[in-house]
């Protein structure tokens, strides 16, 4: 298809060619083409097939308001071809087509069967008898739905998110939106301007009609866009569709990236002091038989195809319109070379007589009071039948294009979503917002304005109102602007007609769901007689176009029937997202944000198998041996080094610090002495274990404490929560990232430490459960003797910046003593051999410290402290029917290790395995389990049911813990 | 998502920055002579007011303070006061 000669309104660039593949067909396009315009330029008329009846579908609105032009692009289904720029090499497929090309669809017989599928067909037919329903589901599922997503599909691209605070957010970059942005920016406010199309300008942008003498509208649009571009405090987002609007002036949108952008799509959340809605209007579809046949399109579609992309919609067009924009388009398209068969206008008068005269000048037949009632042609349009509105006269004209539009419809979504209410306005024929949420203003064509100056002035006015919301003293400007507005033409009278005299069998009110006027009549006949019910029964307006096509026609049609009990039918509720959005865009950044310890790089270098645990990356083990045997045995026999930097670390100080500790820890924290570590636990109100850790007294009213890795983020919040009524004087500092932790454990640990410090670290000078501060080569260290893994061990808390140095020093010094790194897996088995619990592994939300055998930590004689959980600990101390922690071994030697999480059963479930591993120290599998309290006696048999065991249970017996070194000699020596 | 909270330290911030701390039920009653039922009532039961309620919030991604606000649970908007 030949494109028009260069026009000033073009958005394509001659000379810059590209090509896309449409099925087998190679389509040539130009830079600036959308997928839709590129295909149209290559004579593609049928873009896909409809959902139910497999009717051919083509371009209609050119703004992606229906599923007609949703296509599969590079494996992504339901891409809106009208809004997506064509990229060289794209692979495009038509959807819902059974056959090679959308021109021939093997399911097209469905259209002939439409009589057999009235509205609500599936609800009514396929459930009797009930056994056919599962079969029916299978076949309906196959036929239903639009687009196919391959299970192997991998979504490419970068998805970003941006959270923007601004003074004024303007939705819609047409003339009113731009004026609003400019007038608000003029007051020194920060403005965000959102526009769905790739350029600003709205209804001005492509029209050659005169704005002022010698200035066409498109030129005016460019002037405005230029001033917006030059205003530094206006941030313009083009290619950006608003998808949600919420109270407190929160606007959500998503932006499609250009070639030069770093993102494919970006989710935006904009919080504004004030919002201006200048979303304008879309065209209200005219309903007639075959009103969605390819070749039937709206005014804007036909006009913009020619003006923006140089494509005449066809050779010979008939117009059936209800707005002056239609007459204007007919004149302009005639001048560009389109043969216009006639222009029928719903309105008998109230059209612009100058435009009628222009039509006459060009010998275009003008038929006021006429309307299209049927499009002919099996695949694309080849003729149209027009009728006078009173149905007394008809005429059939041959044509390949029908430009049809009943009038305009305001885009009110942004006002409705946060709670604005619509009422029907008799003058404009619009459903207009009667109540508008606070700090929100509307402007432009949305109000029914048509005069360019009135539109611009309403924008300026809304911008000033927004400025007033933001506290700018603009009362006088406001008064003046309102006076200006009053002198300009107000809203124009709009059409109310939905459809001419038609039967309605092939008159589609909703394209996405293949819903006809006949279906609406059927629904009403069955008693679904208000729009919300009709919508649900017929599914009109539930498709991906989000009601863009049926939105206002449905209530107007229902009102016209006079059969609805609702005297004032309203449009059905719209909900976010207002336009289809990728889930990937909502998901946002796919950059995994995790924390690294100061040792991260060197651990990776040493072959550490890193694993994500909570927010942290940690080394699971340092070899490919999943049992970590070497690491374990080296800790038991020589000495090992573990990076424990993920431990939560806090300073808590102030005159009431001890009171706070007494509140959250179950033990008597007044016993915390200098030079000693105190191990204790935190419970919730139910006495269930939340956290455990140690507390060290650094100085008077100054404590250092640790929390388990997973709890580090909540510890401060927890302590402050439980002291929130007390007004105590204490402060907390989260030192988790400031300090790293090295756990050096094994019989040779002291020998290593002695070599690197001058401090006396003998068992007498630094005994078990002791706390010392000393220097390792001038680097300060907080050292504790703890026994989590059951060997002589030193936990060294070191400033993060010194971590690597001290670690390296220990490794070099310890070489002669067989020092080795060990990872989490080794630690997990080592601590299990000692019967030490890890919160979350051996405890759950309902596990009290009594259940874990940690009841000895609880000090019951401090009621004045109001310790969190103390009351429940008292209440549950001897409670029956709780799950208790026990250790177990396998009954028969040589039995394999049961899987973590396997349930324990007799005639019912009696508990589950928490952790079970092969113990190299004991040379047999050991494990810990939470079991019903009557099973916790030593020697009791536990039957373990594993996934897929086919009834063959593993047999274990309860044994006492710890498994290894029950007297704790190793860690105390 | 649109919910905002006015933190006494940081001012109006988006609701996501905060963590909900439940209805304001006053301090824990003293442990001595506390009946299990009373304890359970205090710890686990809520009034679930449909309307304006006083409640605790924690500014997790901010200053880290606990404070109370009044919120209309029917509109999910912070309100000045009863």
With beta carbons under 8 A apart, name residues in chain B contacting A724.
Answer: 21, 56, 66
Q: ipTM > 0.95? A: yes
- Which residue of chain A is at minimal alpha-carbon distance from B25? A725
- Which residue of chain A is at minimal alpha-carbon distance from B59? A717
- Decide if A361 is inside a domain: yes
- A566 at the B interface (CB within 8 A)? no
- A870 at the B interface (CB within 8 A)? yes
Preceding omega of A962 cis (within 30 degrees of 0): yes
Among B14, B19, B27, B31, pick the best mutation site for testing chain A contact (most A Cβ within 10 A): B31
Query: What is the DSSP secondary-structure string of A778-804?
Result: TEEEEEEE--TTSSSEEEEEEEGGGHH
> Do A802 and A660 sit in the same domain of this protein?
no
> Do A624 and A668 sit in the same domain of this protein?
no
Residues A632/A920, Cβ–Cβ less than 8 Å: yes
Longest dimension (CA), chain A: 114
Pick the closest to residue B58 from B71, B45, B69 (CA basis): B69
- Decide if A145 is inside a domain: no
> Do A460 and A559 sit in the same domain of this protein?
no
Per-residue pLDDT band for B2 (boundaries 50, 70, 90) equals confident
Closest approach of A203 to chain B, Cα-based (Å)? 31
Strand partners, A277: A171, A442
For residues A872 and A846, what is the distance between their CA atoms, to the nearest angstrom? Answer: 12
**pLDDT (0 to 100) of residue A562:** 86
With beta carbons under 8 A apart, name residues in chain B contacting A721.
Answer: 21, 56, 58, 66
- Residue A420: alpha-carbon gap to chain centroid: 25
Contact B64 A720 (CB under 8 A): yes
Residue carrying structure tokens 């459809």 = A499
CATH classification of the domain holding B40: 3.30.2270.10
With beta carbons under 8 A apart, name residues in chain B contacting A726.
Answer: 27
For residues A889 and A955, what is the distance between their CA atoms, to the nearest angstrom? Answer: 9
> Do A837 and A728 sit in the same domain of this protein?
no
* Termini Cα distance of chain A: 91
- Which residue of chain A is at minimal alpha-carbon distance from B13? A271
Q: Is A67 helix (H, G, I), strand (E, B) or coil?
A: helix
- Residue A943: alpha-carbon gap to chain centroid: 45
| Cβ under 8 Å to B: A residues 257-276 | 269, 271
B82 pLDDT more than 60: no
Q: Which of B2, B21, B64 sits opposite A716 (nearest CB)?
A: B64
Q: Is B61 helix (H, G, I), strand (E, B) or coil?
A: coil
- Decide if A586 is inside a domain: no
**pLDDT (0 to 100) of residue A391:** 92
Encode pLDDT of A189-233 as tens digits: 999 999 999 999 999 999 999 999 999 999 999 999 999 999 999
CATH classification of the domain holding A752: 3.30.1360.120
Closest approach of B2 to chain A, Cα-based (Å)? 6
Closest approach of A498 to chain B, Cα-based (Å)? 37
With beta carbons under 8 A apart, name residues in chain A contacting B27.
Answer: 725-726
φ, ψ dihedrals at A662, nearest 5°: -60, -30
Q: B63-66, long-range: CB within 8 Å, 24+ apart, which pairs?
A: B63/B7, B63/B9, B63/B10, B64/A716, B64/A717, B64/A720, B65/A720, B65/B7, B65/B8, B65/B9, B66/A720, B66/A721, B66/A724, B66/B21
Residues A518/A507, Cβ–Cβ less than 8 Å: yes
Among B1, B9, B26, B41, pick the best mutation site for testing chain A contact (most A Cβ within 10 A): B1
- A862 at the B interface (CB within 8 A)? no
With beta carbons under 8 A apart, name residues in chain B contacting A418.
Answer: 2
* CA dihedral for A824, A830, A832, A836, sign (positive or negative): negative
What length is written for chain A?
973
For residues A90 and A77, what is the distance between their CA atoms, to the nearest angstrom? Answer: 13
For residues A684 and A387, what is the distance between their CA atoms, to the nearest angstrom? Answer: 77
Count structural domains, chain B.
1
> Do A781 and A873 sit in the same domain of this protein?
no
| Cβ under 8 Å to B: A residues 701-720 | 716-717, 720
- Decide if A767 is inside a domain: yes
Residues A792/A971, Cβ–Cβ less than 8 Å: yes
Residues A806/A798, Cβ–Cβ less than 8 Å: yes
Residues A519, A520, A524: CA angle, nearest 5 degrees:
115
* CA dihedral for A346, A371, A375, A543, sign (positive or negative): positive
- Which residue of chain A is at minimal alpha-carbon distance from B75? A247
**pLDDT (0 to 100) of residue A882:** 93
CATH classification of the domain holding A191: 3.50.50.60
Contact A871 B34 (CB under 8 A): yes
Q: Which residues contact A214 (CB under 8 A, 6 or more apart)?
A: none
Encode pLDDT of A117-135 as tens digits: 777 777 777 777 788 888 8
- Decide if A143 is inside a domain: no
For residues A690 and A846, what is the distance between their CA atoms, to the nearest angstrom? Answer: 10
With beta carbons under 8 A apart, name residues in chain A contacting B39.
Answer: 871-872, 875
Q: Which of A163, A717, A863 sits opposite B31 (nearest CB)?
A: A863
Contact B4 A248 (CB under 8 A): yes
Q: Is A611 helix (H, G, I), strand (E, B) or coil?
A: strand
Domain boundary pick from A66, A101, A126: A126
Closest approach of A666 to chain B, Cα-based (Å)? 14
> Do A29 and A41 sit in the same domain of this protein?
yes
Contact A720 B60 (CB under 8 A): no
> Do A634 and A697 sit in the same domain of this protein?
no
- Decide if A134 is inside a domain: no
**pLDDT (0 to 100) of residue A951:** 85
Task: Sort A819 into a burial class: Cβ within 10 Å, 0-12 / 13-18 / 19+.
Answer: buried
Residues A173/A180, Cβ–Cβ less than 8 Å: no
With beta carbons under 8 A apart, name residues in chain A contacting B26.
Answer: 725
Q: What is the DSSP letter of A34?
A: B
- Which residue of chain A is at minimal alpha-carbon distance from B14? A271
**pLDDT (0 to 100) of residue A100:** 78
- Decide if A5 is inside a domain: no
> Do A338 and A467 sit in the same domain of this protein?
no
For residues A181 and A177, what is the distance between their CA atoms, to the nearest angstrom? Answer: 6
Identify the domain containing residue A387 by its residue range.
288-405
Q: Which of A246, A724, A870 sits opposite B31 (nearest CB)?
A: A870
CATH classification of the domain holding A109: 3.10.20.440
> Do A244 and A297 sit in the same domain of this protein?
no
For residues A450 and A292, what is the distance between their CA atoms, to the nearest angstrom? Answer: 27
> Do A727 and A661 sit in the same domain of this protein?
yes
Pick the closest to residue A845 from A734, A688, A700 (CA basis): A688
Closest approach of A647 to chain B, Cα-based (Å)? 20
What b/e string do you get for A926-947 counting C-beta neighbours within 10 Å, with b at 16 or more?
bbbbbbbeebbeeeeebebbbe
For residues A22 and A40, what is the distance between their CA atoms, to the nearest angstrom? Answer: 11
> Do A945 and A880 sit in the same domain of this protein?
yes
Q: Which of A271, A685, A717 sits opposite B14 (nearest CB)?
A: A271
**pLDDT (0 to 100) of residue A706:** 96
Pick the closest to residue A739 from A683, A806, A692 (CA basis): A806
Identify the domain containing residue B34 by its residue range.
4-79
Low-confidence ranges of chain A (pLDDT < 50): none
Count structural domains, chain A.
7
CATH classification of the domain holding A859: 2.40.30.110
**pLDDT (0 to 100) of residue A957:** 95
For residues A604 and A677, what is the distance between their CA atoms, to the nearest angstrom? Answer: 32
Could you list the beta-strand ranges (E) of A148-303.
Answer: 159-171, 191-194, 210-212, 215-216, 234-237, 240-246, 250-256, 265-277, 281-284, 296-297
């Amino acid at each position: 298809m030949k494109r028009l000669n260069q026009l000033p309104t073009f958005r394509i660039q001659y000379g810059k060619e590209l090509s896309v593949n449409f099925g087998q067909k190679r389509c040539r396009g130009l830079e600036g083409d959308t997928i839709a315009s590129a295909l149209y330029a290559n004579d593609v008329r049928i873009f896909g097939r409809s959902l139910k009846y497999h009717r051919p579908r083509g371009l209609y609105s050119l703004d992606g308001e229906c599923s007609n032009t949703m296509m599969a692009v590079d494996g992504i289904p339901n891409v809106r071809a009208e809004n997506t720029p064509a990229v060289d090499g794209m692979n495009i497929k038509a959807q819902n087509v059974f056959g090679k090309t959308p021109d021939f669809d093997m399911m097209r017989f469905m259209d002939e069967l439409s009589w057999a599928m009235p509205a609500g067909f599936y609800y009514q037919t396929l459930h009797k008898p009930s056994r056919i329903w599962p079969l029916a589901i299978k076949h309906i599922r196959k036929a239903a739905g639009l687009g196919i997503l391959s299970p192997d599909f991998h979504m490419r691209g970068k998805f970003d998110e941006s959270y923007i605070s601004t003074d004024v957010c303007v939705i819609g970059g047409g003339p009113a939106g731009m004026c609003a942005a400019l007038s608000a920016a003029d007051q020194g406010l920060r403005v965000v301007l959102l526009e769905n199309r790739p350029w600003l300008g709205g209804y001005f942008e492509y029209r050659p009609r005169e704005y002022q003498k010698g200035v066409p509208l498109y030129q005016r649009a460019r002037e405005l866009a230029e001033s917006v571009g030059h205003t530094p405090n206006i941030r313009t987002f083009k290619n950006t569709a608003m998808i949600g609007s919420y109270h407190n002036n929160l606007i959500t949108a998503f932006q499609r990236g250009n070639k030069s952008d770093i993102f494919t799509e970006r989710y935006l959340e904009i919080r504004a002091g004030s919002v201006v809605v200048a979303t304008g209007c879309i065209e209200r579809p005219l309903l007639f038989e075959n009103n969605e046949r390819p070749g039937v399109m709206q005014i804007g579609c036909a006009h913009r195809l020619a003006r923006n992309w140089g494509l005449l919609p066809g050779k010979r067009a008939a117009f059936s319109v209800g707005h002056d924009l239609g007459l204007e388009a007919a004149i302009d398209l005639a001048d560009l070379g389109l043969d216009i068969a006639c222009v029928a206008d719903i309105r008998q008068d109230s059209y612009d007589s100058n435009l009628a005269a222009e039509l006459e000048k060009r010998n275009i037949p003008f038929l006021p009071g006429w309307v299209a009632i049927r499009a002919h042609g099996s695949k694309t349009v080849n003729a149209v039948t027009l009728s006078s509105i009173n149905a007394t006269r008809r005429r059939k004209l041959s044509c390949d294009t029908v430009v049809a539009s009943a009038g305009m419809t305001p885009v009110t979504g942004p006002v409705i979503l946060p709670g604005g209410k619509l009422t029907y306005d008799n003058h404009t024929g619009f459903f207009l917002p009667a109540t508008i949420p606070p700090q929100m203003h509307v402007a432009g064509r949305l109000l029914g304005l048509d005069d360019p100056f009135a539109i611009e002035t309403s924008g300026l006015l809304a911008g000033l109102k927004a400025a007033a919301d933001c506290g700018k003293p603009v009362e006088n400007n406001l008064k003046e602007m309102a006076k200006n507005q009053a002198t300009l033409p107000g809203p124009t009278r709009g059409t109310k007609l939905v459809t001419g005299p038609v039967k309605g069998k092939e008159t589609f009110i909703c394209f996405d769901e293949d819903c006809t006027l006949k279906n609406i009549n059927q629904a009403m006949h069955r008693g679904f007689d208000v729009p919300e019910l009709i919508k649900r029964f017929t599914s009109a307006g539930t498709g991906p176009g989000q009601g863009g096509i049926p939105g206002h026609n449905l209530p107007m049609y229902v009102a016209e029937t006079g059969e609805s009990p609702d005297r004032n039918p309203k449009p059905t509720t719209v909900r976010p997202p207002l336009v289809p959005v990728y889930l990937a865009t909502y998901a946002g950044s796919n950059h995994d944000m995790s924390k690294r310890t100061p040792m991260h790089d060197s651990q990776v270098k040493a072959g550490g198998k890193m694993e994500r645990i909570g927010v942290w990356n940690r080394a699971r083990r340092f070899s490919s041996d999943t049992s970590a045997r070497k690491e374990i045995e080296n800790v038991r026999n020589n000495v090992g080094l573990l990076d424990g930097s993920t431990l939560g670390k806090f300073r808590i100080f102030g005159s009431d610090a001890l009171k706070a500790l007494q509140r959250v820890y179950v033990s008597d924290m007044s016993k915390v002495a200098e030079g000693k570590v105190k191990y204790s636990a935190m419970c919730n109100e139910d006495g269930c274990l939340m956290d455990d850790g140690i507390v060290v007294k650094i100085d008077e009213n100054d404590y250092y404490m640790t929390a388990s890795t997973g709890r580090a983020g909540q510890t401060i919040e927890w302590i402050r929560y439980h002291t929130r009524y007390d007004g105590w004087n204490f402060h907390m500092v989260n030192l988790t990232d400031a300090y790293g932790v090295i756990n050096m454990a094994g019989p040779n640990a002291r020998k290593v430490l002695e070599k690197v410090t001058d401090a006396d670290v003998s068992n007498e000078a630094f005994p078990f459960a002791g706390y010392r501060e000393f220097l390792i080569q001038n680097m300060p260290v907080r050292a504790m003797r703890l026994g989590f893994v059951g060997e002589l061990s030193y936990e060294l808390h070191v400033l993060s910046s010194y971590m690597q140095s001290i670690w390296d020093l220990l490794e070099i010094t310890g070489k002669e003593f067989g020092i080795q790194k060990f990872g989490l897996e080794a630690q997990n088995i080592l601590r299990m051999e000692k019967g030490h619990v890890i919160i979350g592994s051996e405890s759950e939300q309902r596990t009290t410290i009594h259940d874990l055998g940690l009841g000895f930590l609880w000090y019951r004689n401090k009621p004045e402290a109001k310790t969190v959980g103390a009351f429940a600990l008292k209440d549950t101390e001897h409670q029956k029917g709780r799950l208790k922690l026990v250790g177990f071994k396998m009954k028969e030697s040589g039995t394999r290790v049961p899987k973590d999480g396997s349930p324990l059963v007799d005639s019912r479930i009696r508990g589950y395995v928490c952790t079970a591993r092969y113990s190299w120290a004991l040379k047999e599998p050991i494990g810990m389990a939470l079991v019903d309290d009557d099973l916790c006696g030593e020697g009791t048999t536990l039957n373990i049911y594993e996934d897929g065991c086919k009834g063959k249970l593993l047999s274990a017996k309860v044994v006492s813990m710890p498994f290894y070194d029950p007297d704790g000699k190793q860690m105390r020596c | 998502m649109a919910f905002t909270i006015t933190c006494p330290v940081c001012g109006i911030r988006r609701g996501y920055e905060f963590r909900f701390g439940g209805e304001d039920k006053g301090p824990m009653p003293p442990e001595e002579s506390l009946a299990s039922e009373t304890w359970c009532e205090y710890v686990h039961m809520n009034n679930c007011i449909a309307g304006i309620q006083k409640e605790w919030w924690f500014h997790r991604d901010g200053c880290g303070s606990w404070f109370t606000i009044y919120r209309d649970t029917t509109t999910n908007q912070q309100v000045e006061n009863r």
